[in-house]
Amino acid sequence: MADAYVALEDGRVFEARSRSPGRTRGELVFTTAYTGYEESLTDPSYEEQVLTFSYPLIGNYGVRDERFESDRVHPRAAVAREFTDDVAEWLAGEDVPAVDHLDTRELVTSVREEGAMKCGIAAGQDATPEAAREELAECKGMSEHTDIGAQVSTPEPYTVTGGGEYDVALVDCGAKGSIASSLAERGADVHVLPYDADPATVADLDPDVLFVSNGPGDPANFGETQSLVEEFVGELPLAGICLGQQIVARAFGGETEKMAFGHRGVNQPVRDLESGTVVMTTQNHGYSVADPGRLDVTQVNVNDDTAEGLASEEYDVVTRQYHPEANPGPHDSLGFFDEVLDLTGRSRTPVAAD
């Protein structure tokens, strides 16, 4: 007998098995990654979403906190064909509902054909279909989460030291830990700042690069971050990953849009327009750059031609829509961090906030 239910906004209710009890709601999305469940579940970009794993068995190599990308689980709930006890116990300890023993192929197909959709989940001894529908009725769309930056950003600045050869101001919109460590491994001191940092804070740091991180939700809801970027256009080299690319594009007059079901997984092919080289990439985003504004598109997704890389020689800008730091995923694009730090070699004068 089922003790968990997943209610979708198209009216269907899936019966399931509870592995971690609770009631919750969120946008239902899926990832195609075979491995990296620890990294995915601790990725802040999944905030306010219900993460479905398309791979049928999740947890076959245990749970190790050294693989975590942040200090907590971010999806509102997790769904799989089968979770091992290790993962189920971890999620229960984090008070994150988890369900399995349902047809995830049908769930993934539904999202692929109809787009990411709202869902409600009820799991545990007293779970009912009605309870799942009640959660669904309270679910917001991702664009409605106007305060999502505050949910995932650091409340106070801190520094990840890497030798002091470079100084990078990393604006934390929900940054994966591997972004800071990838820069630190290359000799950078990474000064991690809140998503709504004051321009004067950046000016006082006088960094070599202003770097906008990944994060969840609609880039239009990160107005403070966009204003910060606009403040330093032409004064500092600018870089961004994922949500960071979208925010930088908007700061240069570009436009963003919500995708039908997004790109989430470790097998997304990306073509460089100058070299023609295709690399495999890790991705996790539900929005994309529809118009790059004053920036140039340098890389595109092979499957749907969405913008995967932007640049400007005039303004010293380089961004990626995917995750060059991977974790999980292929390491084809780790050179992006070298490209970012190469921007620091260009002469510039100290910055000052207006």
Residue 353, pLDDT score:
59
Report helix, strand or coil for 46: helix
Length of the chain counted residue by residue: 354
pLDDT of residue 199: 98
- Assess whether 325 carries a catalytic annotation: yes
Q: What is the pLDDT of residues 285-304, one digit of tens each?
A: 999 999 999 999 999 999 99
* Prediction pTM value: 0.96
Instruction: Decide: residue 141, CB within 10 A, 0-12 exposed, 13-18 middle, 19+ buried.
Output: middle
Q: What is the mean pLDDT of residues 120-129?
A: 97
- The CATH number given to 148-345 is 3.40.50.880
| DSSP label at residue 323 | B
Give the CATH number of domain 4-140: 3.50.30.20
Count of CB atoms situated within 10 Å of the CB of 339: 14
Give per-residue pLDDT as tens, 21-70: 999 999 999 999 999 999 999 999 999 999 999 999 999 999 999 999 99
Which DSSP symbol is given to 141?
P
Look at residue 179 in the predicted model and tell me its pLDDT: 98
Helices (H), 53-100: 85-93
Q: Of 340, 337, 256, 334, whose CA–CA distance to 290 is shortest?
A: 256
Tell me if residue 323 is catalytic: yes
CATH 3.40.50.880, the chain: domain bounds: 148-345
Q: Which tokens in the block code for residue 237?
A: 């080299």
| Numbered residues of the known binding site for L-glutamine | 45, 215, 217, 243, 246, 284, 286-287
Q: Which of 295, 299, 290 is nearest to 311 (CA)?
A: 295
Rounded to the nearest integer, the mean pLDDT of the chain is 96
- Binding site: which residues? 45, 215, 217, 243, 246, 284, 286-287
Q: Rounded to the nearest 5 degrees, what angle is found at the Cα of 49, between the Cα atoms of 327 and 248?
A: 65
The residue behind tokens 């292929």 is: 330
> Looking at 119, 139, 173, 242, which residue is catalytic?
242
Q: How far apart are CA 148 and CA 303, in angstroms?
A: 29
- Run of H or E residues at 312: strand 307-312
Of the listed 145, 263, 285, 323, which one is catalytic?
Answer: 323
- Is 173 among the catalytic positions? no
Residues of the chain with CATH 3.50.30.20: 4-140
Instruction: Kindly report, residue by residue over 205-243, the tens digit of the pLDDT.
Output: 999 999 999 999 999 999 999 999 999 999 999 999 999
